[in-house]
A and B are shown apart, each in its own frame.
Chain A
Amino acid sequence: MRDVAVVAFAQTAHTAEDQGLSEPELILPVIQEVREKAGTRDFGFTCSGSCDYLAGAPFSFVSALDALGAWPPISESHVEMDAAWALYEAWVRLQHGDVDTALVYGFGKSSQTDVRELMTLQLDPYYLEPLGLDQVSFAALQARAYLERTGRAESDLAEVAARSRRSGRDNPYALDLPEVSPEDGYAVAPLRPHDIAPDTDGAAAIVLAAGDRAREMCERPAWIRGIAHRTDAHYLGGRPLDRSESAAAAALAAGVGKAPVDVAELHAQFTHEELILREALDLGPDVLVNPSGGPLAANPIMATGLIRIGEAAARIHDGTAGRAVGHAAAGPCLQHNLVTVLEG
């Protein structure tokens, strides 16, 4: 395997409301910032992750290229997934050996539609989507399955929310969310509003570089020592919903357990997902989880997973961690999981 590292990371100051920016306007500052950090304007490969359904227009990701300048033609690709999978594609592309740098970015404006119902459209169109099963409802099915298997309580979920919001208030890029109120009613029982990641607009970008090129661009590159993704069956009744077997398989393939982990950034859009992921990745109580506040403090969907890898890398860059894990998830109830192991 060719040594590839995260050498630059930038994200927007995420917002809960539409700031009146088009997608290219949202992306432009983070592209400029990572170009500056990496010390180059040109990359051997460019890959983005976004969702056309967020804007309600086919091929809306193409207009986002306006923020890059794509002439003369650049080598470019896109995934209709969280940009963490764009990073995976870029990592694979760099393994070919003919290019040394890659730009990865992702963006999402949740403010333009009802994301909770939009997520119904990702479900199988015969058995699930016609029921109108929304995102919070399917998450709540998993939450109860997890709580009943483990005997954990709703107060354990509230603790995850409280810690995430506290950390988020210390993170200038995350939202300032109020203290968790135990009197909050249920959204869909057993989930309460504080158990659910907030609707967020935002974008993020990462630069990957291989070998010596990485050392030139970054004082302390965050080397990708393992990266893997695995998928569970889509249908919710066809897999054990009280755990995430695919997250555990991805963690095993990425080698999470080969050495101690200092910090992990987990793509948990619901409080119970963090607990399921901690178990699946076998992270002990000494592992710092989501010091950024995680998705429960800022969830610019399609960039949220990439930001987990970026936040994990940032802790390698600044020397506060020697070994970090970045995790991204997609699909209903943690169906699809990507795990990255980064080392200084």
Chain B
Amino acid sequence: MSAGVPLTAEHVLEFPGGYTRTTGPVIGRFLTELREGRLMGVRTAGGRVLVPPLEYDPETGEPVTDEWVRVGPAGTVLTWAWVESPRPSHPLDRPFAWALVRPDGADTALVHAVDAGNVKSMRTGMRVRPDFVPGPERRGHIRDIRAFVPEVTRIVSPIRTRYRVSAGKALTRFLEGVAEGVFIGGRCDTCAKVYVPYRVSCPECGGVIAEEVNLPDTGTITTFAINNLPDPRAPEVPFVSAYVLLDGADIPMITLVGGVPAHEVRQGMRVRAVWVPPEERGMSMSNVKWFAPTGEPDAEVSR
């Protein structure tokens, strides 16, 4: 015999056709009811309802009473374990949970599978119901319950309505500028504040804004946010959205910031608009790809 390689043989222990067990009156009644699609418990002398039923009260050893109680079928999950890779012996062939389910009206819990689809659907305290296999396939067996399934707690409502919105005079004027590569602002005739995008009245003092001001495409970041959720308007994740105070403006404009790692963006950073090539421009803010750092020293940010 070669050293280190044990001589082995395959060996199977099996009862061909399965091992026959008598159920006794209590377990037999439970399984018979299960075949009918009913979940039943038995009452102990102490008044507790055992599900699944036993012939004796496990707390006292006393025989249970003859009183049968219909329970559930809904119940509450007391604890659970998630199986990502089911074994051949398991009741489901896709990821599922094992759970202790206490049917409504019972004082004990039943061990069974919960077909929840996803581990995120599972939590202790959730409500579940048995999903029985079709009547003709039931045979008086614990697996006459295919699995428990979560109770309905939400529905999905698709919502989609359509609009045709007008830009309005002021925004149209602003976008005309953007189409030419210019940010058009407006100065209030009363308080002299410069607003960008261009607008027709001063929201602060109520003055009329008649004077257009062409602003440069450079400015300073006053505040910013790093976004980690994808957005169809942003080129990548994470992306940075920032308030940029254009040079000569009194009110910052919200834009994307790019061309710089998100963690390097800071208040006071000097930035310049990156325009798409003239032949790709239209009456849209998508003319501005984003604002990118100019490399100048940071500016003072005052409130």
Partners in one complex: yes
Contacts of A13 in B (CB 8 A): none
User: What is the size, in residues, of chain B's interface with A at 8 Å between Cβ atoms?
Assistant: 45
Question: Which of B84-92, B184-192, B206-214, B249-257 is found at the contact surface with chain A?
Answer: B84-92
Question: Which of B50-58, B156-164, B292-300 is found at the contact surface with chain A?
Answer: B50-58
Q: Is B102 an interface residue (CB 8 A)?
A: yes
Contact with A along B98-132 (1 / 0, CB 8 A): 11111000001111110000010000100000000
Given the contacts A20-B6, A133-B111, A236 and B119 also touching, CB distance less than 8 Å: no
Q: In B129-179, which residues have CB < 8 Å from any A CB? A: 141-143
Per the bound structure, the CA–CA distance linking A241 and B124 in Å amounts to 14
Q: Are A140 and B91 in contact (CB under 8 A)?
A: no
Question: Which of B75-83, B196-204, B221-229 is found at the contact surface with chain A?
Answer: B75-83
Q: Is B264 an interface residue (CB 8 A)?
A: no
Give chain B nearest CB distance to A182 CB in angstroms: 18
Q: Are A117 and B111 in contact (CB under 8 A)?
A: no
Of all chain B residues, the one with the shortest Cβ separation from A142 is: B79
Give chain A nearest CB distance to B215 CB in angstroms: 52
Q: Is B274 an interface residue (CB 8 A)?
A: no
Q: Are B58 and A137 in contact (CB under 8 A)?
A: no
Q: In A111-150, which residues have CB < 8 Å from any B CB? A: 117, 120, 125-128, 130-134, 137-138, 140-145, 148
Question: Which of A94-102, A155-163, A186-194, A317-325 is found at the contact surface with chain B?
Answer: A186-194
Per the bound structure, the CA–CA distance linking A191 and B143 in Å amounts to 26
Tell which of A18, A117, A120, A141 has the most Cβ of chain B within 10 Å: A141
Q: Is A237 an interface residue (CB 8 A)?
A: yes
Give chain A nearest CB distance to B239 CB in angstroms: 29
Q: Are A141 and B58 in contact (CB under 8 A)?
A: no
Of all chain B residues, the one with the shortest Cβ separation from A232 is: B58
Q: Are B52 and A235 in contact (CB under 8 A)?
A: yes
Contacts of B87 in A (CB 8 A): 117, 132, 134
Contacts of B100 in A (CB 8 A): 141, 145, 236-237, 241
Given the contacts A235-B54, A237-B100, A186 and B21 also touching, CB distance less than 8 Å: no
Q: Is B279 an interface residue (CB 8 A)?
A: no
User: What is the size, in residues, of chain A's interface with B at 8 Å between Cβ atoms?
Assistant: 41
Q: Are A141 and B50 in contact (CB under 8 A)?
A: no
Q: Is A233 an interface residue (CB 8 A)?
A: yes
Per the bound structure, the CA–CA distance linking A236 and B142 in Å amounts to 15
Q: Are B79 and A241 in contact (CB under 8 A)?
A: yes
Give chain B nearest CB distance to A336 CB in angstroms: 13
Q: Are A131 and B91 in contact (CB under 8 A)?
A: yes
Give chain A nearest CB distance to B22 CB in angstroms: 10
Give chain B nearest CB distance to A241 CB in angstroms: 6
Contacts of B302 in A (CB 8 A): none
Give chain B nearest CB distance to A218 CB in angstroms: 36
Contacts of B90 in A (CB 8 A): 131-132, 134
Q: Are B13 and A186 in contact (CB under 8 A)?
A: no
Contact with B along A225-241 (1 / 0, CB 8 A): 00000000111111101
Q: Are A237 and B111 in contact (CB under 8 A)?
A: yes
Q: Is B234 an interface residue (CB 8 A)?
A: no
Give chain A nearest CB distance to B148 CB in angstroms: 12
Per the bound structure, the CA–CA distance linking A237 and B71 in Å amounts to 15
Per the bound structure, the CA–CA distance linking A239 and B102 in Å amounts to 12
Contacts of B79 in A (CB 8 A): 141-142, 144-145, 148, 241-242
Q: Are A132 and B91 in contact (CB under 8 A)?
A: yes
Given the contacts A132-B89, A148-B124, A126 and B23 also touching, CB distance less than 8 Å: yes
Q: In B39-98, which residues have CB < 8 Å from any A CB? A: 50-52, 54, 58-59, 78-84, 87, 89-91, 98
Given the contacts A56-B11, A144-B124, A188-B83, A233 and B59 also touching, CB distance less than 8 Å: yes
Per the bound structure, the CA–CA distance linking A185 and B90 in Å amounts to 20
Given the contacts A132-B90, A134-B89, A141-B80, A127 and B58 also touching, CB distance less than 8 Å: no
Per the bound structure, the CA–CA distance linking A190 and B110 in Å amounts to 20
Q: Is B27 an interface residue (CB 8 A)?
A: yes
Per the bound structure, the CA–CA distance linking A237 and B76 in Å amounts to 12
Of all chain B residues, the one with the shortest Cβ separation from A56 is: B13
Contacts of A19 in B (CB 8 A): 6
Contacts of B13 in A (CB 8 A): 53, 56-57
Per the bound structure, the CA–CA distance linking A145 and B119 in Å amounts to 16
Contact with B along A47-64 (1 / 0, CB 8 A): 000000100110000000
Per the bound structure, the CA–CA distance linking A237 and B23 in Å amounts to 20
Q: Are A189 and B84 in contact (CB under 8 A)?
A: yes
B81 is contacted by which of A131, A189, A233, A234 (Cβ under 8 Å)?
A189
Contacts of B12 in A (CB 8 A): 56
Give chain B nearest CB distance to A194 CB in angstroms: 16
A189 is contacted by which of B11, B82, B110 (Cβ under 8 Å)?
B82
Of all chain B residues, the one with the shortest Cβ separation from A118 is: B13
Q: Are B6 and A18 in contact (CB under 8 A)?
A: yes
Of all chain B residues, the one with the shortest Cβ separation from A240 is: B78
- Sample 25 A-B pairs with CB under 8 A, ordered by A number: A19-B6, A20-B4, A20-B6, A120-B89, A126-B52, A127-B110, A127-B111, A131-B91, A131-B113, A140-B81, A140-B98, A141-B100, A141-B111, A144-B80, A145-B100, A186-B82, A188-B83, A190-B82, A236-B100, A237-B51, A238-B50, A238-B58, A239-B58, A241-B78, A241-B79
| New contact pairs (17) apart from A137-B83, A237-B52, CB-CB < 8 Å | A18-B6, A20-B4, A127-B27, A130-B141, A130-B143, A131-B111, A132-B87, A133-B111, A145-B79, A185-B84, A186-B82, A188-B84, A190-B82, A234-B58, A236-B100, A237-B78, A242-B79
Q: Which 4 A-B pairs have the closest CB atoms?
A: A20-B6, A132-B89, A237-B109, A140-B81
**What residues of chain B have their CB less than 8 Å away from a CB belonging to chain A?**
4-8, 11-13, 21, 23, 27, 31, 50-52, 54, 58-59, 78-84, 87, 89-91, 98-102, 108-113, 119, 124, 141-143
**What residues of chain A have their CB less than 8 Å away from a CB belonging to chain B?**
18-20, 53, 56-57, 117, 120, 125-128, 130-134, 137-138, 140-145, 148, 185-186, 188-191, 233-239, 241-242
